[in-house]
Chain A
């Protein structure tokens, strides 16, 4: 390199790696750095707490046989939920994309609605169904055994999470080039072989993505698992923390859960490396829908069973407790206050998350660099950490470093914002991606500075994305349970906490008004999802 001749060039000394990208304005760089730094806090504090004990205790903690049992229980739960959701979602996605079944739009909407019923509300409904005093026994006299343990948790989580897999599969099936399958058929492959060798490989990325989301949900879920009294990691962490007060062991369990989640994320990125992009510039042709014929008589009972379980059941249980056997009126009177408490923390968290998501979205879209990718990845830490582990880490952090934050609303708001930053980032980022940089450059060349360009050109384009991000985070926080459980100030009972404690104490009727309020709020996010899907 003949560098000495270019002395006029303002160039850095060679061999000095550029850590921070050049030309990123401070108002974008600073919030991004703060957010990325905040994401490291839980990781650091879990580690600090975990290694507090002396080495003999550590060995005892880490190699307890109970840990192995918890691992096996958690894996069994994840496998069960993944298998069950696939059985639920695959036929549904196939029916609405590939067959001539009627009411496809309505079926698609019904396939998304279960997302409005959080896992612990689904568990509440399942618990309320069976047993001696269960709704079924009250209404019909038939007594089902009370669902609990492994099968209860698997069912509650599956009924709530299968829409994630359904949406992924539906998009993949609808986007598949029909010519591919027809080429295979014309080359002499049977329908079954074509499915196995052409269709299925193309669906694998969607399946894996859906499975990963569902697995992370299962690992992170606390409400359904705790209500069903199934000994998975998150339930064990909770009992250690609240009952046994063994904080070091709780930290270790949280670390193990975190490691497990990391394994799944890495496994996923290892497997989905195959290239399945469309080759050639021809126009993809959607498949002709297959006539169902006699299979109709199988399809409709399946659909009725699926939606009765996922939508009908919680609606029926809530309707029963609210209308047929309502609790004392004073319980209804407490709903607005509780709702306000939930919203009073959820709204600041949503605004905080969006306020940090905006500069990070700018950094990753407009100032693409290794540094930007690092910041973007770190934003997903808070989302991928099992919420109980995150909450526990933040407890340790406030006790050790920031005691003024311990058991304050601010702590809850910050942690919620950390857990949901990635959620707010999604819509803002895609809105920004749709705003071409030439738009900003045009404004600059017409004499507008950065502030005028933002208010007149960028913000109007991003408004919808920002609003969507705020709503997504808001709704998540409205129904959030584990973080609230550990971090909310004493006496700050939210909707989710009320439903959980009442249900776990067997006060099903008294929980109903609050569960109904949560379902109403969650429907908001489902509505948002549906309007996006509809486009």
Chain B
């Protein structure tokens, strides 16, 4: 069954040359109306074969516009989109071989599941389409429902059909536009895992657009964070989290302590005392220090930080502290509990990240 998923495996022993990225996007600009600000400003990135990239950002940051330009539904004002080195910027969507799964799934309500999937197989002879459609539905575990109509399915099933339909067109690249946002929380996580396994098994290249940072971090090989039309940082998920480039990225992905400091070599003086930093520099700097990088320990009365707020979260505990009029946050394992009002000693345990801004 997996054999038909082997979409575009690179031939073994191909001549060694510079590996060409599957997709390369350069200098994309888009403005919807003249009086509006740029919806997408100078966005460039590339995607390798079999890679999963998540475009992450708050609503209105331009991530969906970027996706729609790659799919061909919007025309960039400037910039180019190369698919396997070929310029597809001016190509209509139906000639790009780029599949897309919409947020609302966009299943055709007047066609059965089998017909929906078969509709994607223009390259397959008509006589073989029904059987092939069953194979694709089998891949998402819905072959028995091929005769059903889309409105007879649950949201999760509709989503899987949309995925099967997109894959059935055998695209070079699959785009996902907030595909899990219409599922309820319990279903979302398991579907996400299942879909990721499917993509990885078939070596499909994927771009996912989402505003959910947990989704981006767990689903993607690479995460690109967007903010007001610009792509701020593209990196591996762990790097994005541990070494955010700007305070926006640091704050968008979980909690953080933003510290103003004075750097001298690999140490900076801050309100928390001297903190190790991740580069060699001098002068005023802005740092991001994740709350789990701070430890709390007991201290004599009248010294250190005061616990202002405690949020017990099961596997860990989130504290809000105040020291010299400044607020900090810290996360500790849930077995060491402090009470609100207690005095603790607040110590940074790991290096802080120097932010660009």
Contacts and interface: CB of A to CB of B under 8 A. Distances in A.
A286 B77 CA distance: 50
Contacts, number: 74
A456 interface: yes
Contact of B29 (A9, A23, A438, A446): A9
B93 A444 contact: yes
Contacts of A447: 94-95, 97, 120, 122-123, 169
Interface string A1-17: 00000101111000000
A136 B156 CA distance: 68
Given A438-B104, A444-B92, A456-B108, 18 more contacts: A436-B104, A436-B106, A441-B100, A441-B106, A443-B94, A444-B72, A444-B93, A444-B94, A445-B71, A445-B96, A445-B171, A446-B94, A446-B122, A447-B120, A447-B123, A448-B119, A449-B94, A461-B110
Contacts of B77: 6, 9-11
A438 B165 contact: no
A457 interface: yes
Interface of A: 6, 8-11, 23, 436, 438-439, 441-449, 456-457, 460-461
B106 A442 contact: yes
Contact of A445 (B29, B93, B103, B104): B93
Nearest to A435: B109
Given A436-B104, A438-B106, A441-B73, A8 B78 contact: yes
A359 B322 CA distance: 65
A11, A23, A436, A445 interface centre (most CB from chain B within 10 Å):
A445
Nearest to B73: A441
B97 A9 contact: no
A75 to B, nearest CB: 44
Contacts of B104: 436, 438
A448 B72 CA distance: 13
Interface in B157-191: 165-166, 169, 171
Contacts of B120: 446-447
Contact of B93 (A11, A439, A441, A460): A441
Contacts of B75: 23
Nearest to B168: A446
Interface string B105-125: 010111000000001101100
5 contacts: A6-B29, A443-B119, A444-B93, A448-B94, A456-B108
B78, B103, B106, B171 interface centre (most CB from chain A within 10 Å):
B106
A447 to B, nearest CB: 5
A459 to B, nearest CB: 10
A461 B106 CA distance: 13
B93 A456 contact: no
A441 B165 contact: no
B99 interface: yes
A444 B102 CA distance: 13
> For chain B, which range describes its interface: under 10, 10 to 19, 20 to 34, or 35 or more residues?
20 to 34
Nearest to B162: A442
Contacts of A449: 92, 94
Contacts of B122: 446-448
A442 B72 CA distance: 11
B93, B96, B97 interface centre (most CB from chain A within 10 Å):
B93
A503 B288 CA distance: 90
Given A9-B78, A10-B77, A445 B100 contact: yes
B344 interface: no
Contacts of A444: 72-73, 92-94
B98 interface: yes
Given A438-B102, A439-B108, A446 B78 contact: no
B172 to A, nearest CB: 12
A367 to B, nearest CB: 13
Nearest to A460: B110
Contacts of A460: 110
A457 B120 CA distance: 12
Contact of A439 (B103, B106, B171): B106
B162 to A, nearest CB: 8
Contact of B78 (A6, A23, A441, A442): A6
Contacts of B106: 436, 438-439, 441-442
A9 B27 CA distance: 11
A460 B103 CA distance: 23
A449 B119 CA distance: 12
A448 B165 CA distance: 13
Contacts of A8: 78
Contacts of A442: 100, 102, 106, 108, 165
Interface string B305-332: 0000000000000000000000000000
Contacts of A461: 109-110
A11, A446, A449, A460 interface centre (most CB from chain B within 10 Å):
A446
A463 to B, nearest CB: 9
B170 to A, nearest CB: 10
A484 to B, nearest CB: 39
B171 to A, nearest CB: 8
A10 B166 CA distance: 32
B119, B165, B166 interface centre (most CB from chain A within 10 Å):
B119
Nearest to B165: A446
B119 A441 contact: no
B108 A445 contact: no
Interface in B165-219: 165-166, 169, 171
A365 to B, nearest CB: 16
Contact of A457 (B71, B96, B108, B171): B108
B262 to A, nearest CB: 36
Contacts of B103: 438
Contacts of A11: 77
Nearest to A1: B34
Nearest to A11: B77
Contacts of A6: 29, 77-78
A346 B103 CA distance: 44
A62 B92 CA distance: 59
Nearest to A23: B75
